[in-house]
Amino acid sequence: MTQIAEVIVDVPTMQTNTPYSYEIPPALVDQLQPGMRVVVPFGNGSRKVQGFVWQVKPDAKPDPDVVLKTIDTVMDPAPIVNAELMQLSDWLAHTTYAFTITCLQTMLPNALKAKYQKWVSPTEQLAANIRQQLFGDQSELLWDDSLSTDTVKQLLALNRQHLITVRYEVSNQSKVKKMMMIKPAMTVSELTAARSSLRKTAVKQATLLDYLIDHRDTISQPDLEHQLKLSSSSLKTGEANGWLTRKAVEVYRDPFQTAVVKTKPLKLNPDQNKAVSAICSATDHEQSETFLLEGVTGSGKTEVYLQAMANALSQGKQALMLVPEISLTPQIVGRVRGRFGKQVAVLHSGLSSGERFDEWRRIQRGEAQVVVGARSAVFAPLTHLGVIIVDEEHEGSYKQEDNPRYHARDVALWRGRYHHCPVVLGSATPSLESRARAEKNVYTRLLLPNRVNHQALPQVTIVDMTEELRHHKESNFSGVLLQALQTRLERGEQSLLMLNRRGYSSFVMCRDCGFVLQCPNCDISLTLHMDTKTMKCHYCGHEEPIPHVCPNCHGHHIRYYGTGTQKVEQELTELLPTARVIRMDVDTTRRKGAHERLLKRFGDHQADILLGTQMIAKGLDFPDVTLVGVLNADTALGLPDFRASERTFQLLTQVSGRAGRASKPGQVFIQTYNPDHYAIQLAKTQNYEQFFGREMQLRHRGNYPPYYFAVKLTVSDVEERKAAEAMVKIVRQLKTILSPQAIILGPTPGAIARVNKRYYYQLVIKYKRESQLDSALFKILGQAQKQSRGGLQIAIDRNPMSFM
């Protein structure tokens, strides 16, 4: 009996965002399963695209109107997307307004994305001279972007005349790493005989034979070459002579560079104990309960995670732990690996695509029982989840900023429900959304109020910089902070200095006419980068030399303003010439592994001061750091965003926790121009509860989340008028379906009106219940697709992290 396969094709458009039916060729009947990738013909030409089998069903009653095409080939021997993840991709597509195909691809490692190639070959009828000109001696020509427009024109014409044929190739990007394994193929006596019949000059072969005589087990070719200082040719000779066999074996790329020390579970304090047993009980009873684990820095949250995970493993289940990308330092991974060893797979952006693919395959094959990773690790194909941990659940990096715009925490909760397992959201400063749900008993609140060693919280001093400015010359360092740094230097202790970069950068301005160098593509000032001696745009990457003469008035009084980490570093070396400083920012951590190397150097006491941006606030645990300085606490406060206070409070609380984690007491200085702001005052005492109460009042008054839901809609176009017009139309359309209770903010031009030559307009809808909103937004997306040829782009972000 013939079968039909419903296939989601790799054509990310609104119109094709639906399964297409294909006939299953006889050879594949009863072989093909949902979740396998296939190659299918799609469209007018004979173009081939990749697709995912969505459903297999018997050919019930064929619709005479549509003639089905037949599936070309299968790309996988077994499904690469399991039933759970298929369901999840469907849910994701609906909740994030994304295409199903985009969701499927997001869940898989990049190595599994299709690679498309178009090949042309001559027919018999093609004139010999043209054939020679186009193809030379080759039988096929790759048709890609590298061809000249003239050649493309010529090919198109020839194709119309059927003088050439086009072949579409769909292939895997994935590469399975293979390694040659060497094994002796002769007995010792045979090898000894071969050894004695060698010519005297065959030194290399003699060493090889000696080795084979002494070592009878398998060894990898690179290892052997290294050990015996041989080249591969000697081994090939050995193979030809029948001394040994070489066999290519599939191996995993190993992303772990360092070995870890095995650790044992630590003794828990009563609070930790309570938390662990609550989570374990949910795992044991297969309850999809959500826990909000609230614990100040140093209260031992990680140990709670580890023991909850160990319990899941002991039940024959698996554990997934998400951590924010930025804190995915060897410190955290090391602790998990120290406890669970080889069962751990790691997924984060620092891996190469091959390493990522290999870790993913280990999980897929059930060879890893524990997965630690950043945002996208939430899609790890674990099949028997016993517990899911979301560490630092308030972190903004859990939200993906492009399609599908999902929040890893939401996906984690969905998977928890699917697997009937607990989800643990951990934080010292929970997001207001989560804390509010705990208040309503949607989540179970678990508290770790004490630091494990009963250390006192660091002593926090707020430094009023307006006051400082009056007494001293303009500087990034207040007198008290400088004094404290000096003391640490004398005592041989370490300090962390954080520069809050959000909404802040250094730029150049002409002192005579006030001219500020702008990006030609974006409406934003260029940022000064001393290391490359250039001015860069942080939005589009535009780069140009630093001007010495004002381009506007041709004056010579060009001056640097603002504070970049480089400038602070410079001032620091002038003020404290003996201090050894490590600077950590986007510039110094761009190269792979640079982040880890810098932290290791600091951990090894090769520096006194670690100066950095937000990235130093999280997950660091250096016992000799006794001073933390925040140079500019309030740059984020000035931003017109409802989460500005929350972010500031979280950041300050977190960075303060970095001081004095061991036996030595810590001290924190927060420099600010808003010393009385509640976010800063409450961060000083680490009073999360009071902050929560205060902030919730403000959110309630302003009709902000978590009291209201929000959707952000962004429209962009190279022509400002088109973007504005499209937005006006959208607003009109939305107003007809929205209830009077919904609140529309905007439309407003984007915070940076123009980015990369495109103009942005945006709109935020705040609402409580709008039954028609979803369908209206999908309709808007569909309409926008038609205009997308004109360059119009539209993005819909449900539950945006910011309104900017």
Residue from 25, 34, 41, 749 binding DNA (CB under 7 A): 41
Q: Tell me the C-alpha distance between 626 and 694, whole Å.
A: 31
Write the CB contacts of 180 (distance below 8 Å, at least 6 apart in sequence). Answer: 220, 221, 246, 247, 248, 249
Residue whose entry in the numeric block shows the structure tokens 């001293």: 472
User: Among 26, 45, 479, 593, which residue interacts with DNA (rule: CB under 7 A)?
Assistant: 45
Among 43, 623, 693, 782, binds DNA (CB under 7 A): 43
- Residue 593 CA to residue 328 CA, distance in Å, equals 12
Q: Alpha-carbon distance 426 to 388, whole Å?
A: 11
For DNA, give the closer residue by CB, 103 or 371: 103
Q: Name residues whose C-beta falls within 8 Å of residue 730's C-beta, 6 or more positions apart in sequence.
A: 713, 715, 763, 780
- Binding marks (x or -) toward DNA, 7..26, rule CB under 7 A? ----xxx-xx---xxxx---
Binding mask 240-279 for DNA (x = CB under 7 A): ----------------------------------------
CB atoms within 10 A of CB 283: 23
Q: Is 429 in the site for DNA (CB under 7 A)?
A: no
Region binding DNA by CB under 7 A among candidate stretches 62-70, 467-475, 515-523, 551-559: 62-70
731 makes contact with DNA (CB under 7 A):
no
Residues contributing to the annotated binding site:
510, 513, 519, 522, 537, 540, 550, 553
35 residue type, one letter: G
788 binds DNA (CB under 7 A): yes
As measured in angstroms, the least distance from the Cβ of 20 to DNA is: 4
Least distance between DNA and beta carbon 154 (Å): 9
For 20, the token pair is: 């297409």
The partner residues of 412 in beta bridges, in order of sequence, read none
Binding residues for Zn(2+): 510, 513, 519, 522, 537, 540, 550, 553
Q: Does 57 bind DNA (CB under 7 A)?
A: no
Tell me whether residue 157 or residue 698 sits nearer to DNA (CB atom): 157
Assess contact for 801 and 712: CB atoms under 8 A: no
Please report where in the chains the tokens 């209830």 appear, as a residue.
739
Least distance (Å) from DNA to the CB of residue 797?
Answer: 19
Beta strands 667-672 and 709-717: pairing type?
unpaired
Place of tokens 């549509």: 66
| Binding status of residue 44 toward DNA by CB under 7 A | yes
State the Cα–Cα distance between residues 407 and 710, nearest whole angstrom: 14
Least distance from DNA to the Cβ atom of residue 611, Å: 43
CA 540 to chain centre: 20
Q: At a CB cut-off of 8 Å and minimum separation 6, what does 3 contact?
A: 23, 24, 29, 30, 32, 56, 57, 58, 59
What is the residue type of 426? G
Give the nearer residue to DNA in terms of CB position, either 168 or 291: 168
Which parts of 408-427 interact with DNA (CB under 7 A)?
Answer: none
Contact between 116 and DNA by CB under 7 A: the answer reads yes
Of how many residues is the chain composed? 804
Residue 416 corresponds to which amino acid? G
Q: Least separation, in Å, of the C-beta of 755 and DNA? A: 19
Which C-beta is closer to DNA: that of 69 or that of 445?
69
Which of residues 11 and 581 has its CB atom nearest to DNA in the complex?
Answer: 11
Q: Compute how many other C-beta atoms are within 10 angstroms of the C-beta atom of residue 721.
A: 9
- Is 778 a binding residue for DNA by CB under 7 A? The answer is no
The CA-based dihedral angle spanning residues 173, 174, 175, 177, taken in that order and rounded to the nearest 10 degrees: 160
| Contact region with DNA (CB under 7 A), list: 6-14, 216-224, 595-603, 700-708 | 6-14
Nearest to 119 by CA among 69, 10, 46: 46
Pair 57, 24: CB distance under 8 Å: no
Shortest CB 134 distance to DNA, Å: 16
Alpha helix stretches (DSSP H) within 197-300: 203-214, 221-228, 232-240, 270-284
Q: Toward DNA, which CB reaches closer, 11 or 163?
A: 11
* Least Å from the CB of residue 716 to DNA: 15
Binding segment (CB under 7 A) for DNA, from list 5-13, 282-290, 486-494, 508-516: 5-13
Smallest separation (angstroms) from DNA to the CB of 102: 11
C-beta separation of 275 from 240 below 8 A: no
45 versus 555: smaller Cβ distance to DNA: 45
Task: Give the DSSP letter string of 615-642.
Answer: GGSSS---TTEEEEEES-TTTTTTSS-T
Strands 494-498, 609-612: pairing is parallel
Residue 149: CB minimum distance to DNA, A: 8
What is the residue-wise DSSP string for 716-774? EESSHHHHHHHHHHHHHHHHHHS-TT-EEEEEEEEEEEEETTEEEEEEEEEES--TTHH
Q: Examine residue 441 and tell whether it contacts DNA (CB under 7 A).
A: no
**Residue from 25, 33, 47, 703 that binds DNA (CB under 7 A)?**
47
Contact 432, 646 (CB under 8 A): yes
Using rule CB under 7 A, residue 113 touches DNA = no
Which of these ranges, 219-227, 301-309, 684-692, 782-790, lies near DNA under the rule CB under 7 A?
782-790
Query: Given the complex with DNA, which of 159 and 521 has the nearer CB atom?
Result: 159
Q: Provide, rounded to whole angstroms, the least separation between the CB of residue 447 and DNA.
A: 49
Q: How far is the CB of 11 from DNA (least distance, A)?
A: 5
Three-class secondary structure assignment of 384-433: CEEEEEECCCCCHHHECCCCCCCEHHHHHHHHHHHHCCCEEEEECCCCHH
Which residue stretch of 151-159, 251-259, 700-708, 722-730 sits at the interface with DNA (rule: CB under 7 A)? Answer: 151-159
Q: Which residue from 153, 167, 247, 557 is in contact with DNA, where contact means CB under 7 A?
A: 153
Applying CB under 7 A, which of residues 29, 33, 34, 68 lies at the interface with DNA? Answer: 68
> Shortest Cβ distance from residue 106 to DNA (Å)?
17
CB 385 within 8 A of CB 82: no
- Least CB distance from residue 763 to DNA, whole Å? 22
| Tokens 């039909």 -> residue | 4
Tokens of 563: 């504070």
Select 16 or 505, whichever has its Cβ closest to DNA.
Answer: 16
* Cβ neighbours around 745 below 10 Å, total: 14
Q: Does 66 bind DNA (CB under 7 A)?
A: yes
Comparing CB distances to DNA, the nearer of 6 and 239 is 6
**Cβ distance to DNA smaller for residue 16 or 397:** 16
63-71, 223-231, 353-361, 753-761 -> range binding DNA (CB under 7 A): 63-71
Count the alpha carbons within 13 Å of 766 in the hemisphere toward its beta carbon: 16
Q: Are strands 609-612 and 581-584 parallel, antiparallel or unpaired?
A: parallel
Among positions 454, 590, 732, 789, the unique one binding DNA when judged by CB under 7 A: 789
Q: Closest separation between CB of residue 522 and DNA, Å?
A: 23
Residue 170 CB, nearest approach to DNA (Å): 12
42 part of the interface to DNA, by CB under 7 A: yes
Nearer to DNA (CB atom), residue 15 or residue 736: 15
45 vs 665, beta carbon nearer DNA:
45
Query: What does the per-residue mask of binding to DNA show for 154-193, with x meaning CB under 7 A?
Result: ---x-x--------x-------------------------
Two structure tokens written together for 383: 């099949």
How far apart CA 535 and CA 526 sit, in angstroms, is 6
8 Å CB contact between 414 and 103: no
**In this structure, are residues 598 and 582 in contact, taking their beta carbons and an 8 Å threshold?**
yes
By CB under 7 A, how many residues form the interface with DNA? 28
**Is 372 within 8 Å of 390 (Cβ atoms)?**
no
Please give the residue ranges that form the binding site for DNA (CB under 7 A): 11-13, 15-16, 20-23, 41-45, 47, 66-69, 116, 118, 153, 157, 159, 168, 786, 788-789
